[in-house]
Homo-oligomer: A and B are copies of this chain.
Amino acid sequence: MKVATLTTDFGLEDWFVGVMKGVVLKRAPRVAIVDVTHGIPLGDIRAGAFALWAAFRFFPAGSIHVAVVDPGVGSARAALAVQTEHCCFLAPDNGILSFALRLEPPRSVRRIENRRIISRPVSCSFHGRDVFAPAAGFLANGGTLDKLGPATEASVWLPWPEPRQHRHGWRGEVVYVDRFGNAITNLGLSQLSDREQVVSKTQPCCAVALRNGRQAPFGTQYQEVPPGCPVVIVGSTGLLEIALNGGHAAPELGLKVGDRVTLRAALGERVRGKRARLA
């Protein structure tokens, strides 16, 4: 069964997500529709891009990923259909696909314009229902991308915030805060040396410096530090996350998206000695 996923800022209070699914099912009765999330903060394209990037890789090959965080709905921004090696993305041309397409480069991009596929009339405020859902249903039912509209290219790209090397390690930033209060950074395994990667599986070998001179030692699970203490783990996205054993790191440590953090390498001993002070 074909899979279509939905990532939006529509919330679940109203009927918006439900009718998108109705429109998809009208055109593709046998598709499995999965919500990635509808809780993206209103109009936060960057958060939507991050959630899509974190999620799409875990779906079956051939999945159709619809991402609608669309503060410019009704303006002249294009509606895009993007074919990659393993899947297809449908989204407004506002940068929301930027991070996903770093992993899956576009092979073909079309504007979704075919009036025989999209709904008529198209409302000025709900292209999720009138443009993207019909296109998703069309593709899920076996339609091909080239029928959706003319070839084009994505015109808006959000830059991925690359970590920068620094005298004592790497400088990065917080890129997402999840419901558990974990602060996900743009620092990843590639910022750890080979030795650190091996060592870090069994003991702290480096640390992330936070504000106020605090440091979070590297660990492999939340419980490696005393309750209430911060710890840095390789999160489920592959990026380093700052967590708090039994707490919510971001609100309790005052971390928010965009805040700088510094990865200090090879501090194993020093960090271990400092643990008590972090509480």
Contacts and interface: CB of A to CB of B under 8 A. Distances in A.
Interface of A: 1, 3, 5, 7, 10-19, 21-23, 25-26, 29-30, 32-39, 42-43, 51-52, 54-55, 58-60, 63, 71-75, 123-126, 129-130, 178-180, 182, 220-223, 233-236, 241, 243, 246
10 contacts: A3-B22, A14-B179, A18-B55, A22-B59, A58-B129, A124-B220, A124-B234, A125-B221, A125-B236, A130-B236
- Of A18, A32, A125, A246, most B-chain CB atoms within 10 Å: A18
A10 B55 CA distance: 14
Number of copies of this chain in the oligomer?
Answer: 3
Contact of A179 (B13, B63, B179): B13
B5 A18 contact: yes
B58 A23 contact: yes
Contacts of A52: 15
A234 B122 CA distance: 11
Contacts of A129: 58, 236
Contacts of A220: 74, 124
Given A1-B30, A124-B234, A37 B12 contact: yes
B37 A15 contact: yes
